[in-house]
Every structure is written in C-alpha cells, then in structure tokens.
Structure 1
Amino acid sequence: MARTYWGAGAAVVLAALFAVGATVATASGSGGGDGAAHTPSLYSPDAGFARDMSVHHQQAVEMSFVVRDRTQDEAVRSLAYDIANTQANQRGMMLGWLDLWGLPKVVADEPPMAWMSEESGGHAASGAPAAHGGHAAKPGALMPGMATKEELAHLGAAGGRDAEVLYLQLMTDHHKGGVAMAEGCARQCRTPVERDLAQGMVDAQQSELRLMADMLRERGAAPRG
C-alpha cells in the first residue's frame, strides 16, 4: 500500500514539473515536436479540455477537502490529500494556459464536452447532453463522472466509514469520467505539453481507480455500477 501512495504523491511532483515545462513552451509559442508555433482557438480541443477539466478537477478538490474533515482514517485522508494537491496544481496549469493563449476561462454558449464532438465531426449543439467515452452525465451533474449537489450534500453530512465509502464511490465515478476526457485530449489536443499532461492524468487516475477499488473492498463495499 505504501508504494501506491508514494506513486500518488509523486504525481504532485510530476505536475509541478509539467507546469514549468508547459509555461515555458507555451509562452515562447513553441508547438513542441512539430517545430511549429500553435495558439489554440476558442473552440479547439486544447481550450475546451482546459476549461472543462478545470471545472471537473475543482469538484474533486472540494470533495477531497470535505472527506478530510469527515473521517480520521489515515488511508482515506492521505489519498484525499494527494488528489486535492495534484488536481489543484493541474487546474492552475490549465487556467494559466488559457491566460497565455488569451482565451476566456468560461464560454457562455459552449456546452460541456462540446470539444469532444470534433471526433465525430462537428461542434455539439447548445443544450446537448454532455457525454464522452461512452459515458453520459447523470441527471443533475454538469459532466460525466461529476457528483450532483445532492450527492455532495450527503458526503458533507456523512461521517466515519459512511463518508469514506461514499467518497471512494464518488471519486471512482469522477475518475472514470476524467479518464475518458483526458483520453480525448490525448487524441485530439495539438499542444504537446497538454497532450502529455492528459496522458499523465489517464495513467495516474487509472492507478488510483485500482487503489480505490481495493480500499472499498477493505470496507465491505464496491464501486457503484
């Protein structure tokens, strides 16, 4: 178990390294391996991923802070700390890229996950349900994997083992949605450092999904559906 937690903690360090490299590459206008300068456009996968994943990450950070105060279990608190730090760091990087690209952090007429429709040939219509990687957002959730207000309220009201199990279940759903989104950027984004970050998210969150499945089994529970 210690090795797994070391890996999760190391993701924080890797995220910091990505931040340095990404900032330098983007600020200089370097497109990476192809040698061509590239500034993403407003509705590009690069910009859409940065906006949507920033929102997705923010909820993971919030849930992690909630469970930290709802349990004394060191394993869950350690995992929550790693997730909160890693995703807050990555969120700051993505918002920083949007600033460097001169693009807004919110686009009023852009439905969540619209950028992923590029793979099927077109920009999603306003009001279309958010779906990616075969996952659809459940009613009341902004994007696939995200918790509803009611689920967040339940987490905030729970304590001890109940809070641990609900957090692990909600975060499992959250990671599954996040992995599908990051895989989309790894395929579609044109900014090399952003593709690298997206692939790093996939690898780290898949590892955490396995860890959380083990932690749920230890508590006599399982992921939800």
Structure 2
Amino acid sequence: MTRTEAPEEVPEIRSPSSRVIVIGASVVVVLLLGAVLGMFLTQRALSGGEQATPTAGSVDVGFAQDMSTHHTQAVTMANWERDHTADPELRQLAFDIQSTQLEQIGRMKGWLMLWNQPEQAVGANMAWMQQPAGHDGMAMGGTQAAGNGALMPGMATNDELTKLRTLSGKDLDVYFLQLMLRHHQGGAGMAQYAHDHASVTAVRTLAQSMLVSQGAEMDLMRQMLTARGAQPLPS
C-alpha cells in the first residue's frame, strides 16, 4: 500500500498592499490608544477639582491643536525615513519618533474631543502664545506667532519635503536628520510655553514629557550628523 504524502506547506506571501493595510491599522490603534488615554487623564483631572474645561483660545486648547499639526509633519517625515533608509540606526530613530508622536497626537485629539473643540485652530497658528496687545505680536519667549497659512517654527516647507523624497542613501539620512532636528527645535518653544502656562495638569505633564524625550533625540541627532560629517540647518 502506497503511503499518502502530506501536502507541502506553502509559505505565506504578504503583498505590498497587505503591508500597507497592516501599517494603517497600527496607526489607527496608536491614535485610538492615545485618545482614550488623553480623555481618561483629563476627566480624572477635572473630576479632581481642577478649573473649568478649557475654552477656545486658551493655552490648553491652542497647544493641543497646533502641536497635533506640528507632530503630524514629524510623523510624515519619520515614516518616509523608516521605509527608505538602509541604516538600522536611522530606521530605529524614525520608528521611535513616529510611534511616540502618533500616541501624543491621539492624546491631544482626545482632549479636544472631550473639550468639544475642533481639531485645528480657527485663525492664526500659535495665537495662544501671543502676549497682550502692545508687544508687537511676539509670543512669550520671543517666538513669532504664525499668521494664517504660515508655517509654525521648525516645520519643513513643501519644497523641502519634496526634496527629502528625491534623496537616497547617506544624502537621505543626513537631510532627514537636519529637517527633524530643526523640527524638534521649533516645537520646543511651544512645549515650554504650554508647560509654563497651561491650566490642565495633564497638558503640562505631556509638554514636559515632550521636552525631555525630544531633548534627548536632539542630542542624538546632532551626534549622528557629526558622525556623517554634516551640520544642522540654520534655526
């Protein structure tokens, strides 16, 4: 009697479209986790006797709106670097930035939902950082408030993002480090102002976390640029 042979196992082949779906699902999960955490922490703070829910134009609302937008560009650049670099060190840095800032975006959007505020600011960016009238429109700490359509500090222009996508190899890695370092530097002033002036404890805590984690990342990016014989972009 002939012994029946077991059929050979066919290895699973994951198509590029499947990979995109997996990545997209992961992004949604991170955003949702951040949103749930943000709403939980804020509800707990408000129930603990903190002041009334932040309103439009407040530091808390403005920071959550503008920093979410600022973070979104960082995530976009980090995703591109992660998927196109051949350097494991750069791939890990890009992954860390992408995952951390996605969770923070989710947390800030959760706050805005809880406060019944739009996800994006109406009017000029960073108006929440402006000093009272008579100070030449300068924000606290010497940062110029961005007008309608103007880029917030550190953000890359469309031309710079286009250039990033045309590069490869060491040129890509260096330009990514330069753009991301400048991006972090620009966001630091916003985080510091929120840390010093926000009314909700959870907002101040998140701002402090950004200052610490991004400060460490800036030090690392400077070291990486030096190791590759490159310099940071002008602030």
Structure-to-structure mapping, 1:114-125, within 5 angstroms: 114-117=127-130, 120-122=131-133
Q: Name the SS for the 2:176 alignment partner.
A: helix
Give yes or no for contact 1:131–1:144 (8 Å, CA) kept in 2: no
State the 1:103 CA deviation: 0.9
Mapped to 1, the partners of 2:169 and 2:145 lie a distance apart of 28
Aligned equivalent of 1:184:
193
Mapped to 1, the partners of 2:133 and 2:113 lie a distance apart of 26
For residues 41 and 141 of structure 1, do their structure 2 counterparts lie closer, same or farther at Cα, with a shift above 3 Å needed?
A: closer
Give yes or no for contact 2:45–2:201 (8 Å, CA) kept in 1: no
Among all aligned residue pairs of Structure 1 and Structure 2, give the percentage whose two residues are the same amino acid: 45
Q: Give the aligned residue type for 1:86.
A: T
Aligned equivalent of 2:60:
46
Give yes or no for contact 2:54–2:60 (8 Å, CA) kept in 1: yes
Matched, 1:67 2:81: yes
Structure-to-structure mapping, 1:4-43, within 5 angstroms: 22-28=38-44, 30=46, 35-43=49-57
Q: Deviations over 1:129-150 (max 9, x none)?
A: x966434589x86100000000
Q: Give the aligned residue type for 1:24.
A: F
State the 1:213 CA deviation: 0.3
Structure 1 unpaired stretches of 5+:
1-14
State the 1:102 CA deviation: 0.8
Q: Which has the larger radius of gyration?
A: 2
Q: Deviations over 1:3-23 (max 9, x none)?
A: xxxxxxxxxxxx999866642
Instruction: Give the one of 38, 56, 71 matched to 1:57.
Output: 71
Q: Name the SS for the 1:30 alignment partner.
A: helix
For residues 105 and 21 of structure 1, do their structure 2 counterparts lie closer, same or farther at Cα, with a shift above 3 Å needed?
A: closer
Structure-to-structure mapping, 1:42-191, within 5 angstroms: 42-108=56-122, 110-117=123-130, 120-122=131-133, 133-136=141-144, 142-191=151-200
Give yes or no for contact 1:61–1:84 (8 Å, CA) kept in 2: yes
State the 1:75 CA deviation: 0.5
Q: Deviations over 1:15-61 (max 9, x none)?
A: 999866642232356265xx334200011000000000000000000
Q: Deviations over 1:91-133 (max 9, x none)?
A: 011011000011111243x20110001xx225999xx7x9664
Q: Name the SS for the 1:38 alignment partner.
A: coil
State the 1:71 CA deviation: 1.4
Mapped to 2, the partners of 1:22 and 1:106 lie a distance apart of 17
Mapped to 2, the partners of 1:154 and 1:104 lie a distance apart of 32
For residues 36 and 123 of structure 1, do their structure 2 counterparts lie closer, same or farther at Cα, with a shift above 3 Å needed?
A: farther
Mapped to 1, the partners of 2:135 and 2:117 lie a distance apart of 20
* TM-score, with structure 1 as normaliser: 0.80
Aligned equivalent of 2:26:
none
For residues 162 and 141 of structure 1, do their structure 2 counterparts lie closer, same or farther at Cα, with a shift above 3 Å needed?
A: farther
Mapped to 2, the partners of 1:96 and 1:142 lie a distance apart of 24
* TM-score, with structure 2 as normaliser: 0.77
Give yes or no for contact 1:58–1:91 (8 Å, CA) kept in 2: yes
Give yes or no for contact 2:63–2:194 (8 Å, CA) kept in 1: yes
Structure 2 unpaired stretches of 5+:
1-30
